[in-house]
Amino acid sequence: VSVPVHREADEKAPPVLQAQGLVREYGSVIAVDEIDLSLAKGEFLTIFGPNGAGKTSLLALLAGALRPSRGQVWLRGEPLDFGEVEWRRRIGVLSHQGFLYGHLSAEENLRFYGQLFGLSDVDNVVRDKLQHLGLQERAASLVRDLSHGMRQRLALARALLHDPDIVLLDEPYTGLDPSAALVLQGVLSDLRDGRRTVVMVTHNLSEGVALATTVAIMNRGRFVWQGKRAELEGDFGQFYHSVIEGHG
């Protein structure tokens, strides 16, 4: 795997996002099983795993969209409190749903969310995000008329609109053609600016490992391998499949 060199997160920095003993049960099914993680400012964790491994449930737990059956999530040392809303301003989420309104234009969608977040300079922020994501020429287009790749970029613009400390990405490459995936890869590379902590779930092995500072492989609700990207040598695809087969 050919990967670009980038600055690793400062390992001495206080954790921005932590989880300990995280469990999520659906009846008799354990989707997330005793997950621990600790991420500092600037870290980019990519989580790989087969379908049904529990990756999306884990991301929902970290986003506060799902309550854990057991365990705890902390944001900058403070336990995630479902009764508070302020912490939601510190997290940006890109999920399968996208949370975009098809009958509104790209610009109107971002303006709506900017107002929800109480941004003081909505016009400039929206304009900057559209330009950054390469959507300025489609600002007036209805979301329902955009290609899947453009909707995915717009959903990412929505997730980043309020400049969150933590960004959670659930399968951002799903359904993208190679050219759209290449554009998205460039946008995601910009998130490795040292200011944000990013957690991404993906099946795209080469793209996912290229972006990561830290890698985790998840199967049957657990992290079966976790380590620094710099520890990986050789073909990551072969390594990934050997780990999954060893914990099947």
Could you tell me which residues are beta bridge partners of residue 14? Answer: none
Q: Which of 96, 37, 40 is nearest to 71 (CA)?
A: 37
- pLDDT for residue 11: 52
DSSP annotation of 143 = G
* Domains in the chain, CATH or no CATH each: 15-246 (3.40.50.300)
Question: What is the Cα Rg of the chain in Å?
Answer: 18
Give burial (CB, 10 Å; 0-12/13-18/19+) of 25: middle
Q: What number of CA atoms fall less than 13 Å from residue 58's CA on the CB side? A: 36
What is the rounded CA–CA span in Å between residue 141 and residue 46? 32
Q: Which residues have C-beta within 8 Å of that of residue 179, sequence separation ≥ 6?
A: 149
pTM (two decimals): 0.89
3-class DSSP assignment, residue 227: strand
pLDDT per residue, tens digit, the chain (248 aa), is: 333 434 444 456 669 999 999 999 999 999 999 999 999 999 999 999 999 999 999 999 999 989 999 999 999 888 888 767 677 788 999 988 778 999 999 999 999 999 998 899 999 999 999 998 889 999 999 999 999 889 999 999 999 999 999 999 999 998 888 888 888 898 899 999 889 999 999 999 999 999 999 999 999 999 999 999 988 888 899 999 999 998 86
Q: Do the bridges between strand 15-26 and strand 70-75 make them parallel or antiparallel, or are there none, so unpaired? A: antiparallel
Angle between helices 148-160 and 178-189 (to 10 degrees): 10
